Amino acid sequence: MKTLQRPRVRIAPALLAGLLVATSGCVVEGDAVYEAAPLPETGGAGGSGGAGGGAGGAGTTPSWAEIEPIMIEKCGACHGDPLSGGAPYGLITYADAAAHAERSAIRTKFRTMPPPGSPAMTDAEIALLQAWSDAGAPETLEAPPAPVAEWATIEPILVDKCGPCHGATPSQGAPFPLVDYANAAMYAERSAIRAEFGTMPPQGLGFAPCTADEKALLRAWADAGAPEKAQ
């Protein structure tokens, strides 16, 4: 009786190594193999978690200035200059970090990087890296355009800070309204001076003073001749 034998399957060494890595909780990047921390059972962050991290607030887009210290402290030991520990690329220059921003965000989110034994990312640092990646890894953030000194930007200031007394019908001894363009333009210089010296709005009545930006805008509007529409 003839005995049937199963055919032998030959697995290439590279493929076998890949299978071993895939089942051993490791991360492969090029020729480097890093041991990976186990994934969290929930979306929880684990690690050293919590309050630490960069300066960006919730909902804000961080710039490279906020990301660089994280990369240097938490990634620079291996992904620095020179590379060490089998790291395949740098992460401490803007160009390198930006090129790998999405990968860094994913690895830190699932805590496979930094590897075990290295300082762990805080929750705040992980959130910053994710926000930076989602925003396209910007190097700098463009400052919002300065408000134009015209009636459309002056009216809300006067309504808020002067309207309670200098409304359409003046009250509490106010001699004229300031919530319409004609009157506001007539008293533009006076309003700018009173705001600069803090005599208006009157503090004794509990009104909030004009902010530095509001004072600057009132001054710019008065200096420009109180235009209804900026040229």
pLDDT at residue 21 tops 50:
no
175 or 8: which leads in pLDDT: 175
42 or 95: which leads in pLDDT: 95
For tokens 């830190």, the residue is 108
Q: Residues 141-166: what's their mean pLDDT?
A: 89
Render pLDDT for 46-74 as a digit per residue (tens, 0 to 9).
333 333 333 444 467 899 999 999 999 99
Q: According to the model, what pLDDT value does residue 39 have?
A: 35
Side chain identity, residue 146: A
CB neighbours of residue 156 within 10 Å: 11
Q: Residues 193-207: what's their mean pLDDT?
A: 85
Q: According to the model, what pLDDT value does residue 59 have?
A: 60
Q: According to the model, what pLDDT value does residue 18 have?
A: 42
- Identify the top-confidence range among 15-19, 43-47, 145-149, 179-183: 179-183
Q: Residues 83-109: what's their mean pLDDT?
A: 94
Are the beta carbons of 97 and 104 closer than 8 angstroms?
yes
Q: Residues 39-44: what's their mean pLDDT?
A: 35
- Specify the long-range contacts of residues 43-48, CB closer than 8 Å, at least 24 apart: 45/111, 45/123, 45/126, 46/111, 46/120, 47/111, 47/120, 47/121, 47/122, 47/123, 48/119, 48/120, 48/121, 48/122
Q: According to the model, what pLDDT value does residue 28 have?
A: 44
Q: What is the mean pLDDT of the chain?
A: 79
Q: According to the model, what pLDDT value does residue 231 have?
A: 79
Q: Quote the percentage of the chain above a pLDDT of 90.
A: 58
Render pLDDT for 100-142 as a digit per residue (tens, 0 to 9).
999 999 999 999 999 988 899 999 999 999 999 999 999 988 7
pLDDT at residue 174 tops 70:
yes
- Give CA separation, 2 vs 5, 51, 225, in Å: 10, 71, 108
Q: According to the model, what pLDDT value does residue 140 have?
A: 87
